[in-house]
Structure 1
Amino acid sequence: MAFKFEKLKVWEMSVDLSGEVSDLVKLFPKDELYVLTAQIKRASDSISLNIAEGSTGQSNPEFKKFLGYSLRSAIEVVGCLFLARRRRLIPNEQFDFFYNKLTILIKSIQALRNTLK
């Protein structure tokens, strides 16, 4: 059985991002495990989870609300990336890769949100 969210490109993009973030934080030091590591993983997971939750059996206004939550989570991931770069946990190249990926995802979520009435 296919759920509505499985057909959404933004959901696929967010699931891919979550996997890449999970791989990234495996390189973080142990003293970040319950700090930045946990925070960025939760935030990146929340993007796809809110898209899924909001899309299934909800009205358009309700779905828009959940897309808003997804946007906030995506911005939180961006904030975490800035912290990771500042703490020298990731090099500029990795920061740029994720920053660009999140910019595309955020614009895509906003575009979907703008189509809903």
Structure 2
Amino acid sequence: MHNFENLLFWQKSIQLAKQVYLVCQDIPNDEKFGLISQMKRAAISISSNIAEGSGRNSNKEFNHFLGISLGSAFELQTQLILTKELNLLSSEKIESLLKEISEIQKMIYSFKNKLIM
């Protein structure tokens, strides 16, 4: 069992989710049940799956949940790119979030590889 709160990529994913919630306030309300909802769920899923996996019985199970978390990070990345393409948010806000996501993705991927060795 791992203490997820000590994992830097979990800490960063919590900060990312907070940032996503804040920038979603700037997206038009007609996207409330579409893109905004999807982005928030994907952002929350990153840290939630890290936490859930850390409490599982084996590193194999933890690795599985890290894979789900990584998938959510790529999902959020795609949604942010679409948001940028639709000009729903400023490029500066999007680029900052995309940079954070990329860093988290690399950290999760690296940890996954060390976990299964």
TM-score (norm 2): 0.94
Within 5 Å, give how 1:1-117 maps onto structure 2: 4-117=3-116
CA contact (8 A) 2:46 2:70 kept: yes
CA offset at residue 90 of structure 1?
1.1
- d(CA) in 2 for partners of 1:58, 1:7: 18
Higher RCO structure (Cα 8 Å, ≥6 apart): 2
CA offset at residue 58 of structure 1?
2.5
Amino acid across the alignment from 1:40: M
The DSSP-based 3-state class of the residue aligned with 1:88 is coil
Percentage of pairs with the same residue = 38
TM-score (norm 1): 0.94
Amino acid across the alignment from 1:96: E
Answer with 88-97 or 58-67: which moved more: 88-97
CA offset at residue 98 of structure 1?
0.9
Any gaps of 5 or more consecutive residues in structure 2? none
* Count, aligned residues: 115
- d(CA) in 2 for partners of 1:110, 1:94: 25
The C-alpha deviation readout for 1:53-81, integer Å capped at 9, x for no partner, is: 00014200100000000000000000000
Any gaps of 5 or more consecutive residues in structure 1? none
CA offset at residue 33 of structure 1?
0.1
